[in-house]
Amino acid sequence: MALVGAIVFVCLRVLPANSLTVALTLVLAIVGIATRWGLTESIAASIGGVLGLNYFFLPPVGTFTITDPQNWVALAAFLVTAITVSQLSVGVRRRAAEAIARRQEVERLNALGQAMLLSGSVRSAAREIVNSIIRTFDIPGAVLFNQIENEFLRSDARAQSIAEDQLRRVADSGEAAIDAKSLTAVVPIRLGGQVIGSLGLIGCTLSAAALNAVAYLAAIGIERSRSIEEAGKVEAARRSEVLKATLLDALAHDLKTPLTSIKGAVTHLLAQQPGAEDKELLTIANEEADRLNRLVVEVLEMARIEASKLHPDRAPHDINDIVAAALKAQEESLKGRAVELRILSPLPAADVDFEFIQQVLKQLLDNAVKYSAPGTPVEIAAETAGERIVVSVSDRGSGIAEEEQSRVFDKFYRGRKSRERVLGTGLGLSIAKGIIEAHGGKIWVTSAPGKGSVFSFAVPMVKGELVR
Amino acid sequence: MSGAKVLVVDDEPQIRRMMRATLTSNGYQVDEARTGEEALEKFRAFLPDLVLLDLNMPGMDGLETCRELRQGSDVPIVILTVRDTEKEKVEALDAGADDYVCKPFGMQELLARLRAALRRSPGSSEGGPQSFVSPDLEIDFDNRRVRVKDNNVRLTPKEFDLLRHLVGRGGKPVPHRELLQAVWGPDYGDETEYLRVFINHLRKKIEPDPARPKYVLTEPWVGYRFAMPDQQ
């Protein structure tokens, strides 16, 4: 207003100018005012300018009355021009300010993104995110709500002004709550369409788009820390598996080494034609060394199965070959038995680890021999069932009572009737079960007490591959 | 081969004691080494006819020791180990071992393995081919010498015996069992993984292109065959 007064005074007294010059000068001044201060000020200046022109320059000078209708038009034109130009110039000014603010926001978001990616620590990831936001946007407080962990992380006491309820509500509804009066904003944190928490900011003047971007950066930060943590867990699990395997190997070595000395010494003495009494004692020592060795092997194998260390080396194999290998290995104990083979021909190849399945078959044959009378036949059958090959070993032994059938695959379980009579560790069948399950297969028993038992296992076949 | 010198390499003192007592009592001369490094030293001084090598030793392990020994010698090597998977066996044979015995073992079994490792299949003086000559392969069975494209090639005794037996059958397929028994001895027959590894070694040494062999051919389900020049 002072400027308008000054222009009017100067034009009136210092350098007498005509009304046109005064009007144009005033318009110029008003544009300046609009650009510098804003619309309200420039409108006030426009009105002041109209009054000043009217009073000092338009005849009759010294009054607010206008006699010439042309001057009415001129005054109205002046007022409209002044206000329109003010509006345009204020608009330009606002857009420029907005552009600067957007640029600053983008710069800060960029800085925030970098700060979050640089934070290496996993545990303090949420704290890092909150601190980075406060630092980058220069706001008094922020709070992060992690819905998955159900954790609130506040920058400091000032951030208490955003209630937990509000943070939960935003996370539940997925809709931002922005309060322009108190300058607080709560936005949902989304990752891949799913809300994983919410972020509250105090004293925040960010645009909605920038708020979303901040929330998105926070989501990435949280997810990144989670995946680092996951990777750490996987690595830890792998290390503990390696450690277990190493321990088991060391244990195997330490248990078998003394057995080697014992067995070597005893078998050497047995070969020196000892007297009958010595021979009996040495034979006992030798057999017990073998038994101890079997026990060590089985316990370690069980430990490997339990530590999920059993990795079958699967390849297409002919069940006939595996059966033949198992029969060859059990030749000694099968002496005097008729072995009947009922193997479907042609049979698809089995997708199995040769050695492991041979071991299972040996175990089943061993059981068949142990739990049936000498001289009774043993039968091995193989057929297809869906996409699996089912192999079974049957004996004509005493069978297994129904209540025991479900327990024979349990570790260290030994049949009630046979506990005294039959040597064994009670691990054989649970190892067989572990091996078959490691192939994604199934093992089971059907038995009629007094008639015999049938142990069967199903393993995957190789589709489309027929063997001889 | 009574009186043969055996170097026992094992880090376990009780096993060395037991081996010394039993092997000496069976007519062998025994020396011991506690580590792979010591084995290499003792090997040069003692000049054993056979090495019994433990796989699991601190420091330089059995496989590495085996490879080192193989670099400068074709002495028979028998591996002793507590591990008995096929993978471990193949690894040991690949490193140059002649045989593989799993701990704990009966003494009779070990002695049989030692005899098998020490035996040489009968030389050509007792029949069999005297030599084989083709443009890129010359085998002198009398002097146990092989030349590939004018270069002398060193074969281990087992590799050489395997080659001699295959050539001796004049291009006919030789079943796995027959080969194993001819080269290792009558107690063998099921160790087809031995053949796989040794045939592989043989091909690497004498075939112009080991991936596409023209001499030592696989007969699926049966065994192996040495292709005579007129069969190629």
Residue A468 pLDDT: 44
Low-confidence ranges of chain B (pLDDT < 70): 1-2, 120-128, 231-232
Residue A410 has which token pair? 């349990």
- Interface residues of B toward A, Cβ cutoff 8 Å, are 12, 14-15, 17-19, 21-22, 25, 56, 82-83, 85-87, 103-108, 110, 190
Nearest to B107 among A249, A259, A267 (CB): A267
Residue B126 pLDDT: 52
Write the CB contacts of B211 (distance below 8 Å, at least 6 apart in sequence).
Answer: none
Residue B155 pLDDT: 87
Nearest C-alpha in A relative to B57: A253
DSSP state of B170: T
A220-279 residues touching B, CB cutoff 8 A: 249, 252-253, 256-265, 267-268, 271-272
Give A130's strand partners: none
Residues of B with Cβ-Cβ distance to A249 under 8 angstroms: 83
SS3 A9: helix
Q: At what angle do helices B157-168 and B192-206 cross, to 10 degrees?
A: 90
Residue carrying the six token digits 């009186």: B3
Size of interface A-B (CB pairs under 8 A): 62
DSSP B110-134: HHHHHHHHH-----GGGSS-SEEEE
- B18, B26, B61: which to substitute to probe chain A, counting the most A Cβ within 10 Å? B18
Q: What burial class does residue A304 get, using C-beta atoms within 10 Å of its C-beta: 0-12 exposed, 13-18 middle, 19+ buried?
A: buried
Residue A20 pLDDT: 79
Residue A67 has which token pair? 């006699």
Contact A260 B22 (CB under 8 A): no
Neighbours of B21 (CB within 10 A): 14
Residue A72 pLDDT: 82
Residue A122 pLDDT: 47
Residue A23 pLDDT: 81
What percent of chain A has pLDDT above 90?
A: 20
Contact B18 A261 (CB under 8 A): yes
CA distances from A394 to A331, B20, B109, B227 (A): 17, 48, 33, 47
Residue carrying the six token digits 């926001």: A105
What percent of chain A has pLDDT above 70?
A: 92
Q: At what angle do helices A125-137 and A69-118 cross, to 10 degrees?
A: 150
Low-confidence ranges of chain A (pLDDT < 50): 122, 468
Q: What burial class does residue B50 get, using C-beta atoms within 10 Å of its C-beta: 0-12 exposed, 13-18 middle, 19+ buried?
A: buried
How far is it, in rounded angstroms, from Cα B108 to Cα B103? 13
A201-242 confidence digits (pLDDT tens): 888 777 888 888 888 888 888 888 778 878 888 888 777 777
Residue B125 pLDDT: 43
Cβ atoms of A41 and A47 within 8 Å: the answer is no
Is any Cβ of chain B less than 8 angstroms from the Cβ of A191? no
DSSP state of A160: G
A68-104 confidence digits (pLDDT tens): 788 888 888 888 888 888 888 888 888 888 888 888 8
Residue carrying the six token digits 């080991």: B210
Alpha carbon of A343: minimum distance to chain B alpha carbons (Å): 20
A386-421 confidence digits (pLDDT tens): 889 999 999 998 888 888 888 888 877 776 666 666
Write the CB contacts of B154 (distance below 8 Å, at least 6 apart in sequence).
Answer: B74, B146
Is any Cβ of chain B less than 8 angstroms from the Cβ of A39? no
Residues of A with Cβ-Cβ distance to B83 under 8 angstroms: 249, 252
Residues of B with Cβ-Cβ distance to A328 under 8 angstroms: 190
